[in-house]
Every structure is written in C-alpha cells, then in structure tokens.
Amino acid sequence: DAKTTQPNSMESNEEEPVHLPCNHSTISGTDYIHWYRQLPSQGPEYVIHGLTSNVNNRMASLAIAEDRKSSTLILHRATLRDAAVYYCILRDGGSNYKLTFGKGTLLTVNP
Amino acid sequence: NAGVTQTPKFQVLKTGQSMTLQCAQDMNHEYMSWYRQDPGMGLRLIHYSVGAGITDQGEVPNGYNVSRSTTEDFPLRLLSAAPSQTSVYFCASSPATLGYEQYFGPGTRLTVT
C-alpha cells in the first residue's frame, strides 16, 4: 500500500480555519485519498475523499495537488468538537477495500 | 438504522480463554472488516469479508478466526486469549462500491490478564 506522511500534531484556535497536510509521493493513479477522524474513545468517522479534483462537503474541504503527491484537509471554522486524530489514507480504487491507517495528526483546538 | 453495532463494550479475559466479539450492521453492506487499535497507534486490519461466505486475512490475523454466514453479522473469535491481544477492537462495514466510506462501530475494549 502507498504510504502517507502527516505531522504528529497540530494546534488551532476555535473558529479559525485549519489546514491539515498529507504527503503521499508514491500515490498511484487508481488510489483514492480518504480522510477519517477519530474522536476520543470513539471509532473512526469518515470525513471526505477524492481522486483528482478538490472536494467539498458539509464537514470539510479536500484540496488535492495537481500532481496528486500531496493533499490538504481544510476545516473552515474549527470547533472544540473537531479535536481528534485525523488520518489521511490512500485506498486502492482497483479491487482493494482495505484501509491502512498510520498514526495520523492529533488536532488540538484551543477555546 | 442502528448502523454498526458491537458487543460487548468491555471484556476482561484470562490468558487461554476464548470468546467471540460480535459485530452486526443493518445497512446491507457487502464489505465488513475487523481492526485492532493499540494505545497511541493507528488501526490495523485483522480480517475482512467481501460478502457472505467469503473472508480473508488482513495485516495481523494470527490468533483470530472469522466467519460470515449472513450479510449482517461478522463475529471475531479469539481462540486462546493472550495478553498481546489486549486492545480496542473496531468493526467496520461499507458498500461494495469502490471509493465509498467505511462505517465504524463504537469498539470493544478487551483486556487479557
């Protein structure tokens, strides 16, 4: 599986935008970029995914570099409830349903 | 919809005991999987299934068995518990459509003494 690299931790202030980076220099043409987050003592929760184009949904935006070797998850206005571990995952769009989790980025949101 | 449910929420076992962690989903998803999460780590895939009657091994399958007799249920069996299996176990499901999100259960916290 192609690997991703994320910072171990980031901090933000409440109601400010947050940009969470992810590097995936060995991404293949069929890999989808998925983001999940895990709130304390809960199971992971899907945030967003994309293939080539930028994506928006009610939770976040995903900006994908033109060469697809990096991406950024954007939380437009962080709330205390957004404090979680955020995982950037490459998922093979061929026949592979598996998710390979790294250690993710621990996001702390300050009031 | 209840989504993905897991039972029990907590379990303490003695070394050598066996038990089954239950997982059920009511979304008619073809794909189901089991992960374990050790402290400070990401999730690691134990076993997965792409449909009733079909299972396969993930990254860390040793010491665990699975079966998939129905679309809804995907139990995980610990054959002879060991302290190294102390972990939080998550079950997940998703449609077979590629690129779709996975839905995770709330987890089972297992301690083996």
B103 contacts on A by Cβ (under 8 Å): 46
pLDDT on residue A91: 84
Q: Which band of pLDDT confidence, cut at 50, 70 and 90, is reported for residue A93? A: low
pLDDT value at residue A98: 76
The minimum CA-CA distance between B109 and chain A, rounded to whole Å, is 10
Nearest to A46 among B45, B101, B107 (CB): B101
CB pairs under 8 A between A and B: 58
Whether pLDDT at B110 is above 60 = yes
Phi, psi of A9 (to 5 degrees): -150, 155
DSSP B80-96: S--GGG-EEEEEEEE-S
Q: How confident is the model at residue A22 (pLDDT cuts 50, 70, 90)?
A: very high
pLDDT of residue A1: 56
Mean pLDDT of A64-93: 94
Which helix (H) or strand (E) is A90 found in, with range? strand A84-92
> CA B113 to CA B107: how far, in whole Å?
19
B49 vs A91: which has the higher pLDDT: B49
Query: Other CB atoms closer than 10 Å to residue B111's CB: what's the count?
Result: 13
Nearest CB to B106 within list A43, A87, A103 = A43
Q: Which residues of A touch B48 (CB under 8 A)?
A: 97-98
CA nearest to A43, candidates A109, A101, A110 = A101
Mean pLDDT over residues B64-79, rounded?
97
What integer is the mean pLDDT of B33-62? Answer: 93
Cβ count within 10 A of residue A41: 9
pLDDT over 80 (residue B28): yes
Mean pLDDT score, B52-76: 95
Q: Which tokens in the block code for residue A3?
A: 């690997």
Report the residue of chain A nearest B32, measured CA to CA.
A97
Do the beta carbons of residue B14 and residue B113 sit within 8 Å?
yes
Mean pLDDT of the region A62-74: 97
Mean pLDDT calculated for residue range A61-84: 96
